[in-house]
Amino acid sequence: MFVLILGPPGAGKGTQGEILAGRLGVPKIATGDLLREAVRAGSQVGRRVKDYMDRGELVPDDVIVRLVEEHLNREDAATGAIFDGFPRTIAQAEAVDQLLNGRGARLSHVLLFDVPEEEIERRLLRRSALGGRTDDDLPTIRRRLSVYQQSTAPLVAYYGKRGAVHRVPGMGTVEEVAEHVRHIVGR
Ligand code: AP5
Ligand code: MG
């Protein structure tokens, strides 16, 4: 099963992706997490992407696609994966099609997490106050939201044309949202 999780920053993609991946027994491929790991490690990729992330801008597609491909090639992703925060551009969505086609696989579900902006700001500011991420200050949160609207929201129509998008109301407790996801995915 290959499941995509789309949604604005702070919508709960990581939280729910983790739960779903555990339940399905497939890896979660979260580009944001992979990039932060690269930054921490000070690798060549990490040095290339740090400024984009600190500004809340998207990292160039070629870096992202290479990173995802590397993880899809691992044995644990042979039968499925949860993509969290990827794709974020039409070019990345086209790359997903190619990567999966090349493996004789296809997307099972596209989940779109829907959370109002006031709640997103509340969640991310709370995380920031608890010593969370460096991109969780208010101006950067707002920049991430606007980048989402501009570059990623068009994917809703892209996948909508294939009738593949399931809207998940992201409000409510983590357990309630997880239950909703379980209902959609059927497992
Ligand atoms: P990324 O790491 O993907 O961040 P994001 O999508 O902007 O936001 P989050 O990861 O914070 O949100 P989330 O939806 O995962 O929510 P979470 O579960 O954490 O990307 C970071 C940066 O990397 C980008 O800005 C870009 O620079 C780069 N990047 C990454 N992928 C890229 C790509 N494909 N292309 C180009 N660039 C890319 O929850 C958020 C908070 O809310 C947590 O504190 C959580 O505990 C809490 N929470 C979760 N669920 C609930 C709930 N139901 N009720 C209350 N609180 C909740
Ligand atoms: Mg996340």
Mean pLDDT computed over 135-158 = 97
Q: What integer pLDDT is reported at residue 74 of this predicted model?
A: 94
Contact between 170 and 80 under an 8 Å Cβ cutoff? The reply is no
| Mutate-to-test residue for ligand 1 from 29, 31, 130, highest number of ligand atoms within 8 A of CB | 31
pLDDT at 163 over 90: no
Atom index in ligand 1 nearest the CA of residue 10 equals 12
Q: What separation in Å is there between the alpha carbon of 26 and the centre of ligand 1?
A: 20
pLDDT band at residue 164, thresholds of 50, 70 and 90? confident
Q: What integer pLDDT is reported at residue 128 of this predicted model?
A: 96
Q: What integer pLDDT is reported at residue 113 of this predicted model?
A: 97
Residue 101 neighbours by CB distance under 10 Å = 10
Q: What integer pLDDT is reported at residue 111 of this predicted model?
A: 98
* pLDDT tens figures, 91-122: 999 999 999 999 999 999 999 999 999 999 99
* pLDDT tens figures, 3-59: 999 999 999 999 999 999 999 999 999 999 999 999 999 999 999 999 999 999 999
Atom index in ligand 1 nearest the CA of residue 127 equals 44
Give the rounded percent of residues in the chain with a pLDDT score beyond 90.
96
Residues in contact with ligand 1 (CB, 6 Å cut-off): 7, 9-15, 31-32, 35, 52-53, 56-59, 64, 85-86, 88, 92, 123, 127, 144, 173-174, 177
Mean pLDDT computed over 157-166 = 92
d(C-alpha 12, C-alpha 5), whole Å = 9
Q: Name the phi and psi angles at 87, rounded to 5.
A: -80, 160
Residue 60 neighbours by CB distance under 10 Å = 13
Q: What integer pLDDT is reported at residue 132 of this predicted model?
A: 85
Q: Token digits for 11?
A: 């919508």
Contact between 35 and 59 under an 8 Å Cβ cutoff? The reply is yes
d(C-alpha 112, C-alpha 107), whole Å = 14
| Mutate-to-test residue for ligand 1 from 28, 35, 114, 135, highest number of ligand atoms within 8 A of CB | 35
Q: What separation in Å is there between the alpha carbon of 146 and the centre of ligand 1?
A: 14
Mean pLDDT computed over 71-82 = 95
Average pLDDT in the chain: 96
Burial (CB count within 10 angstroms: exposed 0-12, middle 13-18, buried 19+), residue 163: exposed
Question: Could you tell me the CA-to-CA distances from 153 to 19, 71, 103 in Å, in that order?
Answer: 24, 25, 27
